Amino acid sequence: MKQKLSLFLFLFIIGISNAQVEEKKLDELIQNTLKTFDVPGMSVGIVKDGKLVYSKGFGVRSLTSKQPMDNNTLVGIASNSKGFTCTALAILADEGKLNWDDKVSQYIPEFQMYDPYVSQEVTIKDLVTHRAGLGLGQGDLMFFPEGGNLTLNDIVRNVRYLKPENPFRTTLDYNNVMFIVAGEVIHRISGLSWAEFIEQRIMKPVGMSSSFGSYSRAKAVTNKIDAHAPVDGKAVAVPHDWNETANAAGGIMSNIKDMTVWAECLLNNFTTKDGKKLVSDKQVQQLWSLQIPSNVAAKNPYDTGFYGYGLGWFLSDVKGHKQIQHTGGLIGTVTQFTLIPDLKLGIVVLTNQQSGAAFNTITNTVKDAYLGVADRNWLKTYGDRMSKMNAEFEKQKKDAFAKSEAFKKEKNLQPKAEQFIGIYNDIWFGDVEISQQGNTYRIVCKNSPRLKGELLPFSNNSFIVKWDDRSYDADAYIIFSYDESGKARSARMKPVSDITDFSFDFEDLDLKKK
């Protein structure tokens, strides 16, 4: 697309051919984006100046059913749920039921963190600003992937065993577990489950009539996506993946119809269509004020000077305008939600594949049009970038498995079964069993039974863990430490490839042999 997109891009005025041509350009871009990044379905919504100016679905909601994706198709919005969690806390703050600086222990007396001082000092605001000291994705294996045995109470209790990666209140390191704790604060105060509170106190008054606070509450709906993930280079349908224990971090099911209603509410200073304020101006200022900054690249496409996290949203400036944004990702699903309040602009992209390059292509192109930036061909930029990155990821995996195949021939160097088979325990994750089955070795994570696979010899003290579910794309090394008698006493893990999602936080495990 050589021509700069017109600022009339999304006006649907019958008889104005320019507007119709530009709408067709966006349609064409979305179709080409689906093809480029192998995304089966996508829905896109845009609100501008108080009006819905674009709302469409493209492709199919499932490669299995071949049913079309439309603007009513439900998608797991994943971490875009975090904005709802913080809005819920703001509602309770307006009602005088909490303050952002209240200690978490005031509402969850049993809650502890690794450091006794932090346990006493951590506040509700610390929970939802990614500054409590836990690392990126640390603890996510307690609920990810879906199908684990740990309860919400288990997760809240086990936080005390997560050794922080950073000093308290110094670093923005994205963490889901702290939002789960924040959701429990809402439950303890209101008496409602997190999903019930979100539906009754936010979705209903806003007018999000077809959204749900959790996947389980949307089971009767047929118009919803299947998730899709690349397996051997081609997208395939995979099971929905989000544990109900983590709803406060990413559980909402919604669609473009409702998410554009949500965007318009926020752009209208958190005012619902019937003119009622969802939260006070004081709380809006809290939600959208920078709470913890992060680094900004010296050269970036939007001349961004600041970047960081507010309460439930990432905050930055783009070409001199404040931007409120968040993304969300599950296995097989990614979404993006963008607001530029002073332009009264909202852009929502929901997909049923896990390609962030796809939603960035659409959001950036639309954003540039309204910012008056000449078309930068984001489709080519992200297409080229992802081709290069995927080639690097594939090389990492290919090299690892090639080395494993070569090492299999070194029978005299391979560790013997009696040296390492048995049960290992991580204090917050639970038991991991390594066993011998015929001529192969197997691994099963007891509290996350979907995490099971084969161990392939890699060196005299390590194996590659090849997970049975190939959609995870998260194969890992497991490295054993031996005592003086040659018996394994502990093990650690790390991903084989950089493509591994951070929620597979294998590197945070400290496995001790029982």
Percent of the chain surpassing pLDDT 70:
96
CA distance 86 to 81: 9
Average pLDDT of the residues in 143-148: 93
Given the structure tokens 């005088």, which residue do they identify? 96
Q: Does the pTM exceed 0.85? A: yes
How much is the pLDDT for 335? 98
pLDDT in tens, 469-503: 999 999 999 999 999 999 999 999 999 999 999 99
**Residue 49 above 50 pLDDT?**
yes
**DSSP 3-state assignment of 448?**
coil
Measured distance CA(223)–CA(254) in Å, rounded: 11
d(CA 498, CA 393): 6
- Angular region, 332: left φ>0, alpha ψ -120 to 50, beta rest: left
- Please say whether the beta carbons of 178 and 132 come within 8 A: yes
| Residue ranges, CATH 2.40.128.50, the chain | 416-513
479 is written with which tokens?
A: 């490295």
Is the pLDDT at 16 greater than 80? The verdict is no
DSSP 128-174: TTT-SS--TTTTGGGT-SS-----HHHHHHHGGG---SS-TTS----
- The pLDDT, as a whole number, for residue 327 is 98
- On the question of pLDDT at 365 being above 50, the answer is yes
Superfamily of domain 71-340: DD-peptidase/beta-lactamase superfamily (3.40.710.10)
Contact in structure between 232 and 470 (CB atoms under 8 Å): yes
Tell whether the model's pLDDT for residue 241 goes beyond 90: no
- Mean pLDDT value across residues 67-90: 98
Asked if residue 175 lies in contact with residue 167, where contact means CB atoms within 8 angstroms, the answer is: no
In whole angstroms, how far apart are CA 217 and each of 5, 61, 97, 232, 340? 40, 19, 27, 33, 32
pLDDT in tens, 261-317: 999 999 999 999 899 999 999 999 999 999 999 999 989 999 999 999 999 999 999
In the chain, which segments carry CATH 3.40.710.10? Answer: 71-340
Residue 4 pLDDT greater than 60, yes or no? no
Residue 239 binned pLDDT confidence (cut-offs 50, 70, 90): confident
Stretch 125-145: mean pLDDT, rounded?
A: 97
Whether the Cβ atoms of residue 424 and residue 431 lie closer than 8 Å to each other: yes
The whole-angstrom separation of Cα 298 and Cα 319 is 14
pLDDT per residue over 369-420, tens digit each?
A: 999 999 899 999 999 999 999 999 999 999 999 999 999 998 888 999 999 9
Residues 429 and 142: beta-carbon distance below 8 Å: yes
CA 347-323-315 angle, to 5 degrees, is 125
**pLDDT score of 412:** 84
Question: Is the pLDDT at 233 greater than 60, yes or no?
Answer: yes
Closest CA to 310 of 341, 288, 338, 340: 288
- Beta strands (DSSP E) in 403-487 are 422-426, 430-437, 440-445, 452-459, 462-467, 476-482
Q: Is domain 416-513 in CATH 3.90.79.10, yes or no?
A: no
What is the average pLDDT value for the chain, to the nearest integer? Answer: 94
H helices of 234-317, in order, are: 247-250, 256-267, 281-287
d(CA 434, CA 417): 10
What would the pLDDT profile of 441-455 be if each residue is shown by its tens digit? 999 999 999 999 999
**58-65 contacts at long range (C-beta below 8 A, 24 or more positions apart):** 58/27, 58/30, 58/31, 58/34, 59/34, 61/223, 61/224, 61/225, 61/226, 61/352, 62/225, 62/226, 62/237, 62/352, 63/226, 63/228, 63/235, 63/236, 63/237, 64/226, 64/237, 65/226
| Model pLDDT for residues 304-355, shown as the tens digit of each residue | 999 999 999 999 999 999 999 999 999 999 999 999 999 999 999 999 999 9
What whole-number distance in Å separates Cα of residue 181 and Cα of residue 249?
9
